[in-house]
Amino acid sequence: MDKAKSNKQQTVYGIRPVMEAIESGKQIDKILLQNGLSGALISELRSKIREAGLTFQFVPVEKLNRTVRDANHQGVVALISPIEYQSIYDIVPLLFEQGRTPMLLMLDRVTDVRNLGAIARTAECTGVDAIIIPAHGSAQINEDAIKTSSGALLRIPVCREDNLKTVINYAKQSGLQVCAATEKGNDLYTDVDFRKPTLLIMGAEETGVSNEYLKISDHRAKLPIVGEVQSLNVSVATGVFLYEILRQRR
């Protein structure tokens, strides 16, 4: 009979242990499956993965061997999140009940782990109430991210949500203004009144904030750039926005 095993409490491996982890509701970031796996148990596992809406990836056996060294992984490894994700739908009402002016940060497809960590560090320093990331297409919150954040990811609430558009609409209905950072914006970042309850959206360096989110944002704000390089690292740009928000609120 298989027994659940872990590696630094960051992984669960083996077919049945991973199924048990899914059933128990563990915070799973991603499941790695060995290329070419088949059979009844694998079919059952994939069904559970789909039902739980989890991300999975087919990988060579060498990657699994590196992930859990000297372990009988049976071709299946689940990467467990080192943090407990929270729900933005619980956080927003609580902030208003406490008489606070919410400041939320949404990261749209920021996939670099170190950028995520650096952003979280600045967010915690500037008093951001929660970071929102998509359930799919975002950097993993792993040891590297936590280290880069100087532990901020262990202190600031992180919400991993399935549908960011739904979150944006919920924020607007709850009385938050939505500001998307984009070089396509008409307003400078200093022109937005950030003393109001705010959801700030930062996008990936290559593609920026998704067009569907830009369309429903209340403000599309840009940073002034006078050099020949026409974009900033997303963690740097986020820092500029967050410190402008802090400046206005102080």
- Please report the domains of the chain, with CATH numbers, ordered by start residue: 5-80 (3.30.1330.30), 88-249 (3.40.1280.10)
Distance CA 201, CA 186 (A): 16
Structure tokens at 121: 């560090």
pLDDT the model gives residue 4: 39
Residues with Cβ within 8 Å of residue 208, at least 6 apart in sequence: 182, 183, 184
pLDDT tens sequence across 17-38: 999 999 988 888 889 999 999 8
Helices and strands: H and E segment counts in the chain: 9, 12
Distance CA 11, CA 78 (A): 6
Q: Token match 């992180």: residue?
A: 158
Which pTM does this prediction carry? Answer: 0.85
45-78: buried (b, 16+ CB within 10 Å) or exposed (e) per residue?
beebbeeeebebeebeeeebeebbeebebbbbbb
8 φ/ψ angles, rounded to the nearest 5 degrees: 55, 30
Distance CA 234, CA 195 (A): 23
Flag residues of the chain having pLDDT under 70: 1-9
Neighbouring-strand partners of residue 86: 159
214-247: buried (b, 16+ CB within 10 Å) or exposed (e) per residue?
beebbbbbbbeeeeeeeebebbebbbbbbebbbe
Task: Identify whether the C-beta of residue 65 lies closer than 8 Å to the C-beta of residue 13.
Answer: no
pLDDT the model gives residue 197: 98
pLDDT tens sequence across 74-98: 999 999 888 999 999 999 999 999 9
